[in-house]
Amino acid sequence: MTEVRTRFAPSPTGYLHIGGLRTALYAWLFARNANGKFILRIEDTDRQREVEGATELIYRTMRETGLDYDEGPDIGGPVGPYIQTQRQDLYKKYADMLVDCGGAYYCFCTKEELDAKREAVESAGGTYRYDRACMDIPVEEARRRIAAGEPYVVRQRIPDSGEAFFDDLVFGRISVPVEELEDGVLLKTDGLPTYNFANVVDDSLMGITHIIRGTEYLSSTPKYNLIYQAYGWDIPQYIHVPPVMRDAQHKLSKRHGDASYEDFTSKGYLKDAILNYIALLGWNPGTTQEIFTLEELQKAFHVEGLSKSPAIFDVAKLNWMNAEYIRALSAEAFTENALPWYRKVLEPTAEQCSILCRILQPRLEIFGQIPEKIVFLAALPEYEPALFEHKKMKTDQPLALRVLKSVLPKLEAEPVWTEEAVHAALLATVAELGVKNGQVFWPVRIALTGMAVSPGGADEAAALLGREEGLRRLRFGIELLEKNA
């Protein structure tokens, strides 16, 4: 039985886009599910769009997400090199071979000639297609002109009649009349291949058995098969996956600034949640299960679950899933992930980390929400006395003032502030004033945090701030209310 070999072949044009990561994930899952090989190839022939450092970013993202590859540019393998620009001599060799096979020809039309022909056709209301002016130049003559230094390209020779087709494991057979296809360029004047040619040569030479990629290649794949057929090569199996959309009309697109994997991790999403979520964008496990480890995905993944329909990227659903992953973390893992976000506000003590873990872990969707939730720990925000009012709790400014004046001496008498000590003092104030718990806890929390919404309650806020700062803020709250009385 032939070993399954899949590949992920990104272009180094920036951060790894979320749609590209999903393609990598599916190719990895398919290979691992079949006990096959997963190959990383860098397709860098589009030199104008290449971004410095992007290749290293691809390596790093693959490592971080656990999508290990068996062969690749940085680890080597038996069919390297795995970077296209390092394979340039191969493409020239195989382009000449394709000419000899009758699947291509040398073209000497200049850019000016082609532009003039295009303009003439389009000005007459037509749609330009290359007129095959060089198709019948004898190969010997063409090669003499090339040897003399004349610039040229290599064009695919589309058959004169019939249909080009391919079979896809998701979409079935896709066919197109050959008269609708153009003799496209395979090898450019600079000796670099176009994507259409390089990926066919590379996939064949690297023994790729299954090609997993986006549906944007559905229309061009029949032309690829013509190249395979011209060489007499085995044709791989195709699995085209639906696009990831940001809404019903627009695809997620790296060119249009849509989110990359790095964008999400920099906002505080967990990599495991990202992988879990994108796995379900266009694939259905056939069960109601939504939370998967990478190992569980590997066992569950099957082509039958892939959809033909586009998948809408739902940030709210990703947030829900990320929250589920956050809640499942151990306290140690939560704190490890949270620390960089705490440090945007303060350098927390071990005690503060313990309290923050307890009050934040059940409430967070993403770690990037932490700074805004704990900003009060760095400094008391400016707030208006009206914030002490709460209609539902029947708390107004005069009552808030009474509460704070009653609470302050009780807390001043506490030499060490703990949540338990603060809580007891607040309950003593409830009993002393004959009010409800909320009518005491609300104004105290407002005085301590200066925020209508903050994590935890008044006793937790007090413990986080410590005795000196907590008392200072309570006194400030009293002054503020007295001035406004």
Residue 45 has pLDDT above 90, yes or no: no
pLDDT higher than threshold 90 for residue 250: no
Is residue 270's pLDDT more than 90? yes
Q: How far apart (Å, rounded) are the C-alpha atoms in residues 214 and 153?
A: 28
Q: Which candidate, 334, 393, 402, places its Cα nearest to that of 363? A: 334
pLDDT above 80: residue 201: yes
Res. 163: pLDDT tops 70: yes
Catalytic residues: 254
What SS3 class is residue 201?
A: helix
Considering the chain, what is the average pLDDT of its residues? Answer: 95
Share of the chain above pLDDT 90, in %: 91
Q: Which two tokens stand for residue 84?
A: 């296209």
Which of 353, 274, 358 is CA-nearest to residue 321?
274
* Alpha-carbon distance values, 334 to 142, 315, 338, 340 (Å): 67, 22, 6, 11
Average pLDDT over residues 430-445: 97
pLDDT of residue 46: 81
What confidence score (pLDDT) does residue 6 get? Answer: 98
Do the beta carbons of residue 453 and residue 408 sit within 8 Å?
A: no
pLDDT value at residue 259: 79
For 219-232, the pLDDT digits (tens) are 999 999 999 999 99
DSSP string, 396-450: -HHHHHHHHHHHHHHHHT-SS--HHHHHHHHHHHHHHHT--HHHHHHHHHHHHH-
When pLDDT is averaged across residues 375-399 and rounded to a whole number, the result is 95
Q: How confident is the model at residue 13 (pLDDT cuts 50, 70, 90)?
A: confident
Q: Give the confidence band of 258 by pLDDT, cuts at 50, 70, 90.
A: low
Report in angstroms the alpha-carbon separations of 191 from 87, 92, 115, 152, 358: 11, 7, 21, 9, 61
DSSP class of residue 303?
G
Residues of the chain above pLDDT 70, percent: 99
Q: Buried b vs exposed e over 61-98: b needs ≥16 C-beta within 10 Å?
A: bbeebebebebbbeeebeebebbbeebbebbeebbbeb
Give the separation between CA 76 and CA 188, rounded to whole angstroms: 28
**Radius of gyration over every alpha carbon of the chain, rounded to an integer in angstroms:** 32
Rounded distance between C-alpha atoms, residue 197 and residue 188, angstroms: 10
**Average pLDDT rounded to a whole number, residues 336-356:** 97
Q: Name the amino acid, one letter, at 398.
A: P
**269 vs 327: CA distance, rounded Å:** 13
Spatial separation of the C-alpha atoms in residues 256 and 237, rounded to whole Å = 31
Residue 384, SS3?
A: coil
- Among 28-32, 50-54, 110-114, 352-356, which is the least confidently predicted range? 50-54
**What's CA 356's distance to the chain center, in Å?**
29
Tell me what pLDDT residue 256 has: 54
- Token representation of residue 432: 């002393």
Q: Under 8 Å CB-to-CB from 383, ≥6 apart: which residues?
A: 446, 450, 451
* Confidence class for position 67, pLDDT limits 50, 70, 90: very high
pLDDT of residue 257: 53
Token couple for 306 = 């892939």
Q: Which region among 48-52, 190-194, 208-212, 428-432 has the lowest average model confidence (pLDDT)?
A: 48-52
The whole-number pLDDT of residue 253 equals 62
Mean pLDDT of 2-16: 93
Region 444-471 average pLDDT? 96
